[in-house]
């Protein structure tokens, strides 16, 4: 990865620039220890909005969801530099990008 790309990645802030829409990928992909939820297992709190709308789940404990859930913002959701396209949304692409924010 070039220095320019490194710089661009460092400019991505931990703030939402899009909305999740029908995506609920992180509620399956991520491990959430306080919920005893292993990675790759659909969260038991995830309810399906519609039987024929795969991936359009909603959190049944949204107002009381734990901090790791409330604080998680994937790279697609916070992409403020045009790194990823609309088609790269995790539920559409099958790829979930995460990054930690480092303050220098």
| Helix, strand, coil % over all residues of the chain, rounded to 5 | 30, 10, 65
Is residue 78 part of the contact set for ligand SF4 (CB under 6 A)?
no
Question: Binders of ligand SF4: how many residues, by CB under 6 A?
Answer: 22
Interface pick for ligand SF4 out of 61, 83, 92, 95 (rule CB under 6 A): 61
What are the start-end ranges of the H helices in 3-103? 3-10, 26-29, 67-70, 90-93
* Residue 104, burial from CB neighbour count under 10 angstroms (0-12, 13-18, 19+): exposed
Contact window for ligand SF4 (CB under 6 A) among 6-14, 70-78, 79-87 = 70-78
Decide if residue 12 touches ligand SF4 (CB under 6 A).
no
**Shortest separation between residue 62's beta carbon and ligand SF4, angstroms:** 6
Q: Which residues bind ligand SF4 (CB under 6 A)?
A: 20, 23-27, 32, 43, 45-46, 59, 61, 65, 69, 72-74, 76-77, 89-90, 96
């Amino acid at each position: 990865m070039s220095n320019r790309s490194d710089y661009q990645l460092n400019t991505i802030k931990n703030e939402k620039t899009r909305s999740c829409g029908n995506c609920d990928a992180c509620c399956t992909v991520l491990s959430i220890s306080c919920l005893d939820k292993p990675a790759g297992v659909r969260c038991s709190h995830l309810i399906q909005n519609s039987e024929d709308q795969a991936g359009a789940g909603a959190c049944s404990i949204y107002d009381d969801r734990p901090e790791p859930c409330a604080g998680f913002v994937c790279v697609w959701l916070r992409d403020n530099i045009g790194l990823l396209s609309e088609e790269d949304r995790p539920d559409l692409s099958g790829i979930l990008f995460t990054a930690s924010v480092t303050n220098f």
